[in-house]
Structure 1
Amino acid sequence: MYKSVHGGDIYSEQNNSLGKNIVDYSANVNPLGLPVSVKEAIKNSIKNCVNYPDPLCRELIEKLAKYLNIKKEYLFISNGAADVLFKLALTVKPGRAVLLAPTFADYEKALRTVDCKFTYYELQEEKKFIAGYDLLKKINSRVDLVVICNPNNPTGKLIDEDLLLEVLEKCCRTGTKLLLDECFMDFVDGDKAYSLCSKLDKYHNLIILKAFTKTYAMPGLRLGYCMTSDVSLIKRLHENGQDWNVSIPAQAAGIAALDEENYLLASKELIRVERQYLTAQLEGLGAKTFGSEANYIFFKLEKPENLAELLRKHGFLIRECNNYHNLGPTYYRIAVKTRYTNRALIKAIKEVRRNALSLLVIIDGLGDDHIPALNGLTPFQYAEHKNIDTLIKLGTYSEVSICENDFIPESLSCILRLLGVQQRDFPTNRAYLELLAHGRDISEYEMVLRCNLVSIDKDNTLVSFNGQGLSAESMAEAAKACDEFWQGIEFMHLSMYRNLLILDKDRRILDNCVISPPHESMGKNVDLLLGELKQQSLLLKHFIEGTAKRLERFNHDDIRYMLYPWGPSERKTLPGFQALHGLKGAAICEAEIVRGIAKGLHLTAPKIAGVTADIDTDIAAKATATLNMLKEYDFVLTHFNGADEAAHRYDYQSKAEFISAIDEEFLEKIINNIQEPLRIVICGDHVTSSINGKHNKNAVPVVAAQINTAAIPVKINNYQDILTFLMRASDMRG
């Protein structure tokens, strides 16, 4: 079955669920609609339809010749400009032709009917699809016809007038006809518009094509014409077609339309204003535009790849340009309409585009103190990060406290805040989310506590919070030694020194018991740190003491090991990320708390081979996974935990090296491989001091930038600005 390659096929849409509510942006028709006088002329002509139409369109040609200030013998009128094209091909029968590419498809289609061979002059995107003087090299005595659309369809670009005159002159010298399509010239602003109509008397090889169709919004009537001083060609055009090719209503409409001077002036002004509006909105949405001078806008938009299909489902028909020679599937053309419908179209594009993609890179514990051994710099300042520096040049750098004075500086609350969760919805402590990260849930009658494998000295002073002195294998053995049925307690080993305890809910522990986090309590007496917990829960007292005996075989050099329960938490339902922001989200992470946050917010969080929650993670694998997720999701959180772990170990050198590795192995890959418009923020969640190993609420580095777009960067003055920048609904590009 034949399928039209042009815009304006609203009839195919009437058979789908959209019915007749489709708004057609695929056809470049005057947005003011059919003039009232033209409607009346059509109505009044109906009574004459009992007769054949005037085969020579005498009255229309008389009036049109005066309007154009040319001889009436120069005019041939037919059933639309496309019909004139096919008649010209049949009449001229060119053997060789030169066509611009991209340009209107029916030039090629018409020439193929007479087996014409053609050469393309390919317009270049980097030159904004504007023809250059090298076009003249394509013209020689072997070329019978050159076809130029001015302004060009679909690009809307005008050819330089001086170049066009040189093309005309060279065509004259080589005996080549120049077919100049000026169908959209009526929509060009007055100071830029020009026609070669005044050159007809001098150049008999010049043929100018025009139409009432687009100018006066009457494509359903079909009325177009050509003009040339080659009157023998006009005679042959009549001979090569049937006589009654322009209906009585079409002729009447054309006669009436030629009086509509105010209508044309109003049309030009509306199109000028709305073309500027649509261009700005499209560029704000990440589209590349090329400066159309016509009543349509040609643009390139990489994502989504099925933009036209998605918009069709929203009730808008736009012109896909992938069937134009020299164009691919990411080019589109839209008509310029009224502000009301233009706003609706932009809104629909925003909905289907769902934003520029957003990437939040959290380097856990990125903030730090100034380290004397690093020349008084912080690990971030000391690290090499050329890609971060590039992003700062494109965007902005600031230092912001994420927690401010609202809560203690720890990853759970800080990351939830960066993801837009309100503080009232924060879980009490992070144990529940770490449990979710491992596919386990609890009932409303249970609670869960974090439980670190810690080390203490002979004076019961806390030496480490992370099983320092034991290998990963030894920590796993230690967990296994403690993992047995304890009456009333379920022990769950996570990784390394991290464990969870599940037991019946006890409000005394949840609400009243103060347990200092082990990583904040080094150098303190463990009996004092856990004294209140042991008093509130005899069950946990027996657990702590019983497991300490089981761990005695791991003791060495006056260092003993024990389990340290802390951070009690109960079941808490988080709001869904998509419900919060209207965005599909994913997370690339390995730290239990972040995977738990992802689970709670319904963010997709794939498991990735080689990825860990420390500095030994496979950074390149995280980059690959991030790029893959950005192909499917509007928002991606990528979390690196190693900087925090290094700082807790007082290892500022490794922290700086890890930041450098993220810059080189992760950010460089993202920047070099992402092609879509992208908002990116790189920041810490809190400060983790490499001097004392503790978190604090001080400001952390924040880098915010937009890539693959000309949008103006925003300033980040507080955490709300980060949210606005990353999560706002598709307005990065507008």
Structure 2
Amino acid sequence: MITGHGGNLAALAGRLDCRIADIVDMSSNINPLGPPDRINEILGSHLADIRALPDPDASRMTRAFCSYHDIDPSRVAPGNGTTFFIFTLPLALGARNALILGPTYSDYRDGCGMYGCEVEHFTALANDHFEFDLTQVSGRVKGKDMVFICNPNNPTGRLVDKAALTGLIAAHPDTVFLVDESYLPFVDHADTVSLLKETRFDNLVVLSSMSKIFTIPGLRTGFLVGHEQIIQKVMAYFQPWSVNSLAQTVIREVFENPDFIEPFYSTTRAYVAEERELFGQAFHNDDRITLYESCASFILAKLETDMGSSSFCERVGNHKILIRDCENFDGLDHQFVRFSLKTRERNQRLIQVVQEVLNHA
């Protein structure tokens, strides 16, 4: 049973007896600007691609990704979303135990649990603004087969410094570090933080998601980048034709004709920074709720009232707005919720609704 994920649009629409289209989904961490025009054009002109089988190994899509990032193709595996790798790596590496830096995405835990890999959590604290103490983390890594790090982290939006992170990886050569960079494209100067091109370590793998930044989660595409030997182990579990035709066409076309990518990234980063500031200003002097600093397209909040997250989300939901109840994140509790940024109009509406709900707490 899949239980670790977030908001359920259908459930809220059913409770309110309305259409799913009437619900404003502010629980899903995708680009608030939507897909770039180029991707919409590609989708519109390539629907006929679904009539034929895709490349069995998604090789052309992979070569385009590698060319754009200047990465040796032997270091890259394509996947049906990055979830494929999260659930495959513990099996492919024969991992028996893992450390997960949290609070974070539940699939890391679930991917390990599927194959009997025991999990420990190192949880950053709210009092520390959810910043990891990597010295303490290092003391917990010894003897672990794998370490999972989401950077920037979901749901906290915190970013680990590149130098500190590579120092941690270098200090533990017998442990494989999975660094999930799914939300890194939302970060200013992401290229100076990313480990995609890091070739010094044979114990590092990096996840690169296309879903969040390009707003195409339904296409299911992502890449794993790392040492060739690890890539070969993962590809032993790769099923032919597992990346669909449209997904391969979109990603291939995007990276073969990449002129729009950097301008799109820049526009997105500027926009989400403005919207984070909007939320910050709205609740700056409100002692009923604490918003945590984020560098991503979402904001973690702590309720400082007696109202729990479930009741809070329900009351916000009564206004046909879906937000993320974070109680089921390991390391968080019933005080935490997450807001995913959308259009200015919808963000302002959520701010108004949150203030109304807090006023009646």
TM-score where L is the length of structure 1:
0.46
CA gap 1:344/1:113 in 2 versus in 1, 3 angstroms: same
Percent sequence identity over aligned pairs: 27
Q: Does 1:104 align with 2:109?
A: no
Equivalent residue, structure 2, for 1:242? 239
Q: Aligned to 1:32, what secondary structure does the other structure show? A: coil
Shift of 1:185: 0.7
Q: Which has the larger radius of gyration?
A: 1
Equivalent residue, structure 2, for 1:288? 290
Equivalent residue, structure 1, for 2:54? 53
The aligned runs of 1:437-448 (5 Å cut-off) are none
Equivalent residue, structure 2, for 1:170? 171
Q: Distance in 2 between matches of 1:191 and 1:23?
A: 29
Shift of 1:8: 5.0
Q: Does 1:302 align with 2:299?
A: no
Equivalent residue, structure 1, for 2:200? 202
Greater share of helix? 2
Equivalent residue, structure 1, for 2:132? 131
Q: Distance in 2 between matches of 1:319 and 1:273?
A: 21
The aligned amino acid for 2:181 is: E
Shift of 1:178: 0.6
Q: Distance in 2 between matches of 1:166 and 1:48?
A: 45
Equivalent residue, structure 2, for 1:65? 66
Q: Distance in 2 between matches of 1:36 and 1:11?
A: 28
Q: Distance in 1 between matches of 2:122 and 2:137?
A: 7
Q: Distance in 1 between matches of 2:103 and 2:190?
A: 26
Q: Does 1:342 align with 2:356?
A: no
The aligned runs of 1:584-595 (5 Å cut-off) are none
Q: Aligned to 2:219, what secondary structure does the other structure show? A: coil
Q: Distance in 2 between matches of 1:319 and 1:109?
A: 19
The aligned runs of 1:6-45 (5 Å cut-off) are 6-16=5-15, 17-19=17-19, 20-45=21-46
Maintained 8 Å contact 1:279/1:297: no
The aligned amino acid for 1:198 is: K
The aligned runs of 1:565-644 (5 Å cut-off) are none
Maintained 8 Å contact 1:45/1:248: no
The aligned runs of 1:688-699 (5 Å cut-off) are none
Equivalent residue, structure 2, for 1:314? 319
Shift of 1:302: 3.0
CA gap 1:162/1:185 in 2 versus in 1, 3 angstroms: same
Equivalent residue, structure 2, for 1:568? none
Q: Distance in 1 between matches of 2:148 and 2:206?
A: 10
Shift of 1:276: 1.1
The aligned amino acid for 1:237 is: V
Shift of 1:129: 0.8
Q: Distance in 1 between matches of 2:51 and 2:195?
A: 39
Q: Distance in 2 between matches of 1:118 and 1:150?
A: 19
Shift of 1:117: 1.1
Shift of 1:3: 5.3
Q: Distance in 2 between matches of 1:45 and 1:121?
A: 45
Shift of 1:93: 2.4
Q: Does 1:272 align with 2:277?
A: no
Maintained 8 Å contact 1:270/1:338: no
Maintained 8 Å contact 1:37/1:256: no
Shift of 1:45: 2.3
Q: Distance in 2 between matches of 1:38 and 1:192?
A: 22
Maintained 8 Å contact 1:185/1:193: no
Deviations 1:344-397 (A, max 9, x none): 111111222226xxxxxxxxxxxxxxxxxxxxxxxxxxxxxxxxxxxxxxxxxx
Unaligned runs of 5+ in 1: 356-633, 635-734
Runs of 4+ in 1 over 4 A off after TM superposition: none
Q: Aligned to 1:11, what secondary structure does the other structure show? A: helix
Equivalent residue, structure 2, for 1:333? 338
Maintained 8 Å contact 1:178/1:205: yes
Unaligned runs of 5+ in 2: none
Q: Aligned to 1:62, what secondary structure does the other structure show? A: helix
Maintained 8 Å contact 2:290/2:304: no
Q: Does 1:212 align with 2:210?
A: yes
The aligned runs of 1:654-669 (5 Å cut-off) are none
Q: Does 1:77 align with 2:74?
A: no
The aligned amino acid for 2:131 is: I
Maintained 8 Å contact 1:39/1:253: no
Q: Distance in 2 between matches of 1:44 and 1:344?
A: 36
CA gap 1:53/1:167 in 2 versus in 1, 3 angstroms: same
Shift of 1:123: 0.8
Q: Aligned to 2:179, what secondary structure does the other structure show? A: strand
Shift of 1:309: 0.8
Deviations 1:103-138 (A, max 9, x none): 110000000011111221121111111111211111
Shift of 1:163: 2.0
Q: Distance in 2 between matches of 1:193 and 1:28?
A: 23
Q: Distance in 1 between matches of 2:2 and 2:237?
A: 26
Q: Distance in 2 between matches of 1:192 and 1:288?
A: 30
Equivalent residue, structure 1, for 2:185? 186
Shift of 1:190: 2.2
The aligned amino acid for 2:283 is: L
Shift of 1:193: 5.6
Q: Aligned to 2:283, what secondary structure does the other structure show? A: helix
Q: Aligned to 1:99, what secondary structure does the other structure show? A: strand
Deviations 1:385-418 (A, max 9, x none): xxxxxxxxxxxxxxxxxxxxxxxxxxxxxxxxxx
Maintained 8 Å contact 2:161/2:193: no
Q: Distance in 1 between matches of 2:319 and 2:140?
A: 44
CA gap 1:33/1:8 in 2 versus in 1, 3 angstroms: farther
CA gap 1:138/1:291 in 2 versus in 1, 3 angstroms: same
Q: Aligned to 1:283, what secondary structure does the other structure show? A: coil
CA gap 1:65/1:191 in 2 versus in 1, 3 angstroms: closer
The aligned amino acid for 1:252 is: T
CA gap 1:241/1:61 in 2 versus in 1, 3 angstroms: closer
CA gap 1:192/1:345 in 2 versus in 1, 3 angstroms: farther
Q: How many residues align?
A: 350
Shift of 1:284: 4.0
TM-score where L is the length of structure 2:
0.92
The aligned amino acid for 1:335 is: S
Maintained 8 Å contact 2:162/2:194: no
Shift of 1:240: 1.1
Shift of 1:203: 0.7
Q: Aligned to 1:214, what secondary structure does the other structure show? A: helix
Q: Aligned to 2:284, what secondary structure does the other structure show? A: helix
CA gap 1:265/1:221 in 2 versus in 1, 3 angstroms: same
Higher relative contact order (CA 8 A, sep 6+): 2
CA gap 1:3/1:59 in 2 versus in 1, 3 angstroms: closer
Q: Aligned to 1:197, what secondary structure does the other structure show? A: coil
The aligned amino acid for 2:39 is: V
Q: Distance in 2 between matches of 1:81 and 1:194?
A: 19
Q: Distance in 2 between matches of 1:354 and 1:37?
A: 44
Maintained 8 Å contact 2:179/2:204: yes
Q: Aligned to 2:331, what secondary structure does the other structure show? A: coil
Q: Distance in 2 between matches of 1:39 and 1:353?
A: 39
The aligned amino acid for 2:201 is: Y
Maintained 8 Å contact 2:54/2:243: yes
Maintained 8 Å contact 1:184/1:214: yes
The aligned runs of 1:177-576 (5 Å cut-off) are 177-190=176-189, 194-199=193-198, 201-229=199-227, 231-258=228-255, 259=258, 260-261=260-261, 262-285=263-286, 286-303=288-305, 304-305=307-308, 306-354=311-359
Q: Distance in 2 between matches of 1:123 and 1:193?
A: 24
CA gap 1:35/1:101 in 2 versus in 1, 3 angstroms: same
Shift of 1:161: 2.6
